[in-house]
Every structure is written in C-alpha cells, then in structure tokens.
Amino acid sequence: MPDPYIIGDSSPFLKRVLVPFWVVRIIVMVCAIGVYAFLLWGVSRISEYDFGGEFESEYVGRAKSTILAIFSIIMILILICLILDIVSIVKRSRRTLSPRYFLISNVIQTVVWLILFILSMIGNPTGLAVAIMVIVL
C-alpha cells in the first residue's frame, strides 16, 4: 500500500497559490449568500394583497413561493461550495489535503458555478451581472 500523500515543499498545494484563490472565492460566496438572504427577506415581505384583487393574489402567491424556492436552492448550492472550501482549508492546514479530494471538490464547485452562470445567462443578463459571473466562474 502506498504511503499517504504528505504536503511538503514539493507539493502542488502551496499556500501562496491557494490562499489568494480561497480568499476571493470565500468573499464572493459570502457576498452572494448575503445578497440572496436579503432577497429572500424582501420577497417574503411582499403581501399577496399589495397588488390588487383576490384574483391577482393567487398568482402573486404562486410567484412568491416559486421565487423563494429558487433563491433558497441557489443559496444552498453556494453554501455547499463554501463548506467545501472551508473543509479544503482545514485539510490543507492539517496537511491531509489529498489530490483526489481537492480535485473532486473543485469539480463540484465548477459544475455548480457553471450551472449558475448558464442560468443567469438564460435570464435577462446585464453587463455587470455577466462580468461578475465570468469572474466567479
């Protein structure tokens, strides 16, 4: 059985390479979670009767529950990416970060951000939204 992988001077997991990427990704993810939490709060405050009669309130209620579900799912996906980064940081600091875990973690995060990028491009993208999503991806 091969010896376990030990992070050392010849390791591809150098702090000077990984820390800047982790810092940027964590800042972006925390900001995104904050934005979605604010949006969830704002949408949940909408009253079904703010828009008029009873006929319209049924559609507003459906739209509100759909929007809440979508924002919640996006927030959970970003939270999963944040947790994967934190676990990678802890494993790196304990010198137990394996190439297999690091690769799987980054592939999962890339797929999540690619899906979010595609979904944002399907909607009504603005220049700022496209720029932010390209940087994040």
Q: What is the pLDDT of residues 8-26, one digit of tens each?
A: 555 666 777 788 888 988 9
Total-model pTM: 0.77
By CB atoms closer than 10 A (0-12, 13-18, 19+), residue 97 is buried
pLDDT of residue 61: 73
Any idea where the domains of the chain sit in the sequence? 15-136
59 close to 91: Cβ distance less than 8 angstroms: no
The residue count of the chain comes to 137
Query: Torsion over CA of 57, 59, 61 and 66, rounded to 10 degrees?
Result: -170
Residue stretches of the chain with pLDDT short of 50: none
pLDDT of residue 93: 84
d(CA 13, CA 21) in angstroms, rounded, equals 12
